[in-house]
Amino acid sequence: MKLLRKQMLDGNVQTMLLAILEAGPSYGYAIVKDLNTRAKGILQLGEGTIYPVLHRMEEKKLISASWRNAENGRERKYYRLTAKGRRALTANCQQWRLLTSVMKEVLGPAAKRSPEVELKGAAI
């Protein structure tokens, strides 16, 4: 089992959160659950560490937030994607596609020679 290095993820968590919120408004715990489901257990993230990222995204107006009452009566903060966030997601996805395609081209035979690994997880 191999560990996905944290440095490989730096800067990409924001894009992952934008992608999750593209599906519709959501709140912290649900976002974490969704992220874990989509990542199929490859990411092991400190759940509390997504809040600083969400708050920074809110400051940058990539997402907006509103408080609503949850079914259990507690107040809950919901996040939704803004137009600026949607544009950022599109741009980041393009960058990501470019990076993966250039890596594939450059690594070429070297990538094929390296054995397949089972990813264990990455701490964020």
Residue closest to 60 by CA, chosen among 83, 78, 76: 83
From the list 56, 87, 104, 120, which residue makes contact with other proteins (rule: CB under 8 A)? 56
Q: Which amino acid is at 80?
A: R
Q: How far is the CB of 122 from other proteins (least distance, A)?
A: 14
Residue 62 contacts residue 84 (beta carbons within 8 Å): yes
- Residue with Cβ nearer other proteins (13 or 88): 13
Q: How far is the CB of 115 from other proteins (least distance, A)?
A: 31
* Whole-number Å distance between alpha carbons of 55 and 40: 25
Residue 91 contacts residue 18 (beta carbons within 8 Å): no
- Residue with Cβ nearer other proteins (15 or 27): 27
The answer to whether residue 71 forms part of the interface with other proteins (CB under 8 A) is no
Q: How far is the CB of 59 from other proteins (least distance, A)?
A: 7
State which H helix or E strand residue 6 sits in: helix 6-9
Q: What would you report as the CA-atom Rg of the chain, rounded to the nearest whole angstrom?
A: 17
Q: Which stretch binds other proteins (CB under 8 A): 18-26, 73-81, 86-94, 105-113?
A: 73-81
Write out the residues near other proteins by the rule CB under 8 A. Answer: 27-29, 32, 46-49, 51-52, 55-56, 59, 67, 70, 72, 74-77
